[in-house]
Amino acid sequence: MNRIECLRAVYPQLEKRVVVTIMGAVAIELQSIGHRPNFFYLQHAMGLASSIGLGLAVSLQEQRIVVLDGDGSLLMNLGTLSTLAHSGASNIVHVVFDNQSYLSAGDSPTATAQSTDLEGVARASGIPHTASARSVEEFQTAFASALDSGKLTVLVAHVDTSGVYDRPTDLGLLENRFQFSRHCQSLARR
Ligand SMILES: Cc1ncc(C[n+]2csc(CCOP(=O)(O)OP(=O)(O)O)c2C)c(N)n1
Ligand SMILES: [Mg+2]
């Protein structure tokens, strides 16, 4: 399955959520489906999308935070899984698009192309709810159940090594930052 198909399948459920993506192909793909003020595309800080997600989850406890991450990015900051598990935050769905590649930086293989099982790492780190998906239908079902569960979830989506990664987005980095920040402030005031 392709990541953009997964994103299209769950886009209606993302529309009203606070969403943080890691940089690169996933950010461009989500933006190509439709940008919203509640979407933040974290640039440059590889590995830290879930850390930003945790900060949001702690400060916006009424919201369900969706993090859209990559395998290479998560592998740079595996400690985030233990931090998430021990934070007590239950309002995060951490989706990891595992394409076994650092696709956005030239398509070299990550450790998941060999033997690393990120769902297994998440489970062993103490994440209470983990799942894997290998088809769009499985992904859609697992994502919906993660949102419904009210549990901290890591969902690993095994996707093809394909995607849009060589064109810049037309949304300015600062514009995205301030728009998203204002959106979160408005949620906090409710
Ligand atoms: C700290 C840091 N190191 C390296 C990079 C360069 N870089 C940008 S995207 C990327 C690959 C990301 O891989 P992954 O998270 O698996 O996402 P994919 O591109 O496969 O969708 C790399 C290495 C960066 N932006 N920041
Ligand atoms: Mg990858």
Of 162 and 101, which is predicted with more confidence?
101
Q: What integer pLDDT is reported at residue 163 of this predicted model?
A: 80
Which residue has its alpha carbon closest to ligand 1 atom 7?
A: 105
Distances (CA, A) of 111 to 70, 72, 73, 170: 12, 8, 11, 32
Confidence of residue 71 (pLDDT cuts 50, 70, 90): very high
For residue 99, the ligand closest to its alpha carbon is 2
Average the pLDDT over 164-176 and give the result.
Answer: 77
The pLDDT value recorded for residue 170 is 76
With a 6 Å cutoff on the Cβ, whether 119 touches ligand 1 is: no
The structure tokens 């062993």 sit at 124
Residue with CA nearest ligand 1 atom 1: 46
Count Cβ atoms below 10 Å from residue 13 Cβ, excluding itself. Answer: 15
Q: Is 3-189 a domain of CATH 3.40.50.970?
A: yes
Does residue 166 have its Cβ closer than 6 Å to ligand 1?
A: no
Q: Is the CB of 53 under 6 A from ligand 1?
A: no
β-bridge mates for residue 69, sequence order: 96
